Amino acid sequence: MYAYVLRRLLATIPVMAVVAVFVFLLLHLAPGDPAAIIAGDYAQPADIARIRTELGLDQPIYVQFWRWLWSLLHGDLGVSIFSGLPVTRLIAQRLQPTLAIASGTIVMAVMIAVPLGVIAAWKAGSWIDRLIMVFAVLGFSIPVFVIGYIFIYAFAIALPLFPVEGYAPIERGIGPFLHTIFLPCFVLAILYAALLARITRASMLEILTEDYIRTAHAKGLSSRTVLVTHALRNAAVPIATVIGIGVALLLGGVVVTESVFNIPGLGRLTVDAILHRDYPVIQGLILVFSLIYVVVNLLIDLSYAVFDPRIRY
Amino acid sequence: MATTATGIEAAARRRPARFAEFARRNPTMLAGLVIIAAMAAVAIASPLIAPHPLAINPIDRLKPPSAAHPFGTDMLGRDIFARTVHGGRISLLVGFSVAALTTVFGTAIGLVAGYLRRLDAFVMRVMDGLMAVPGILLAIAFMAIASASVMNVVVAIAIAEVPRMVRLVRSVVLTIREQPYIEAAVSIGTRTPKLILRHILPNTIAPMTVQATYVCASAMITEAILSFLGAGTPPEIPSWGNIMAEGREFFELTPWIILFPGLFLAATVLAVNLVGDGLRDTLDPRIARRM
């Protein structure tokens, strides 16, 4: 077990190393002088020269990389060009809403998608199966921000149940907090649930043809018991795997949703950073988002043993 | 000669029957193809249908849908119908270009990684790293350093989509390379390039085509998202994402600015996804069971 955890932890190092190299090269692959890009469109030559020496951009590229990596490993992501604040502080300030929406979405999506996928597989070929699959394709085909605006119109303007925009931090009480994140989570959960419902249905369909399912039915167990304890439990590993892979999609969706609902999270920070061409912030954000993806997938890999006792590390 | 002529006639007679069979088996795929064809026709004919997507008319600002402006107008009095009709050009262009670019590069890298074991570990670690970055962020990052242009949008989205295509093609290659006929080809001295192109590549075409349609669908959504966030197609080009981005400010008053292009985009993406599902079920029943 410990050996497996250690091996799995070590396997994340090359992934994050690739991300780090990519993020570093991002600025250097850009056509033109990085110092001029950072200085902006209206900079004087003197400003550009000052930025070049300040950021060490006049050094050879491998020296720059080592310096950058060294400070990265010490938790230093540099300083925002636009606000002058440390990137780590900017990210820490904005982390809560993003994590709240992402985890809320996963919970909501699983609650929607797993029952739908199970029912679709159980009633495969029926109209209810078709209906659920139509939902799954639709959820995948409508851009998240279009769903977002339709829901704002329906549930915040026409029927004022939820706020149109904004975020109440959890420190202000759990009630207002849930009230503000419900709609953004629900919007994102539709996209995520579409993905999960498809995979749940597919895994269940495969498992429902197994001999032990027939045996369970033959023993006279109720359909419910067969579906939930015999079939779903075995479908849990592929479903969990797709939850992990879907985190990349989810984090992209969070960026968009925060922007629609005007929530001050990492997504808003990303959009603001693009508008100001604030490269250190963009670099830091990509690293943080990738780290979230890698950590979630690590946890999911380790969770397989919980779902399936046959798996031993 | 006579036999060929009758052969052609027979084929011509069979064709409607085959079409009816296809329509019966894949009604959703047919619906998808019809929608894509209609969208493509509208996009190509857009200069004739609505010649002035950029015409500014300040008197008619933010007007609701009417006979003169079926989809209403935006804050500059531009006709949303004309803009939406033109917007299809960008979405289809981006969708199909990204699919083509991803297929070419994804397949090339996947074939090499799958067949040449020495490169495999390195290439796949790079792909794993790229896949750890959410696709939209990867595209955003690229757009942040590149100038806003449709071509850069295509490249940015393709970079994010290539790793998945590489994985898919590589996984096919890994199973094919163990087949006895590959061993036979190697033993009679077939050179590696020919072996890859003649004996391995054709096996990847079915799953690759299915994946390419999904890439096309997701690229159209990503283009809209990038433009919506202000990191995509240059704002002066009326792409669906740009039209919707301009409608954000007045959404509570004028929801049609977002709604109509949104509907067109959703319908097009849905159509491509339906074709993808249809292709998957037809080309490879084994994937159909897995998905």
Distance CA B2, CA B19 (A): 26
Complex ipTM: 0.86
Q: With beta carbons under 8 A apart, name residues in chain B contacting A144.
A: 225
Model confidence band, residue B13 (pLDDT cutoffs 50, 70, 90): low
DSSP-assigned letter for residue B64: P
Whose structure tokens read 């077990």?
Answer: A1
* CB spacing of A22 vs B143 below 8 angstroms: no
A277 touches chain B (CB under 8 A): yes
A256 touches chain B (CB under 8 A): yes
Q: Which two tokens stand for residue A196?
A: 């999960």
Instruction: Name B196's Cβ contacts closer than 8 Å, sequence gap at least 6.
Output: B111, B112, B115
Model confidence band, residue A238 (pLDDT cutoffs 50, 70, 90): confident
Distance CA B105, CA B162 (A): 7
Q: Which two tokens stand for residue A147?
A: 């769903």
The residues in A 75-104 lying below 8 A from B, measured between CB atoms, are: none
* CB spacing of B132 vs A252 below 8 angstroms: no
The pLDDT, as a whole number, for residue B2 is: 46
* CB spacing of A29 vs B262 below 8 angstroms: no
Q: Taking a C-beta distance cutoff of 8 angstroms, is the pair A194, A241 a contact?
A: no
Distance CA B36, CA B47 (A): 19
B290 has pLDDT over 50: no
Burial bucket for residue B288 (CB in 10 Å: 0-12, 13-18, 19+): middle
The pLDDT, as a whole number, for residue B289 is: 45
A152 touches chain B (CB under 8 A): yes
* CB spacing of B133 vs A22 below 8 angstroms: yes
A307 has pLDDT over 80: no
A259 touches chain B (CB under 8 A): yes
Closest partner CB to B133 (pick from A19, A199, A249): A19
Tell me how close the Cα of B53 comes to any Cα of chain A, in angstroms. Answer: 22
Q: Which of B225, B265, B243, B245 is nearest to B79 (CA)?
A: B243
> Tell me: the pLDDT tens digits for A45-86?
888 888 788 777 778 888 888 888 888 888 888 888 778 889
pTM value?
0.87
* CB spacing of A205 vs B289 below 8 angstroms: yes
Q: Which two tokens stand for residue A62?
A: 């491998």
The pLDDT, as a whole number, for residue B3 is: 47
Task: Collect contacts of A32-38 with beta carbons under 8 A, ≥24 apart.
Answer: A37/A277, A37/A279, A37/B145, A38/A81, A38/A277, A38/A279
Q: With beta carbons under 8 A apart, name residues in chain B contacting A290.
A: 132-134
> Tell me: the pLDDT tens digits for A24-47?
887 777 666 777 777 766 778 888
Q: With beta carbons under 8 A apart, name residues in chain A contacting B146.
A: 30-31
Q: With beta carbons under 8 A apart, name residues in chain B contacting A271.
A: 229-230
Q: Per-residue pLDDT averaged across A104-132, rounded?
A: 92
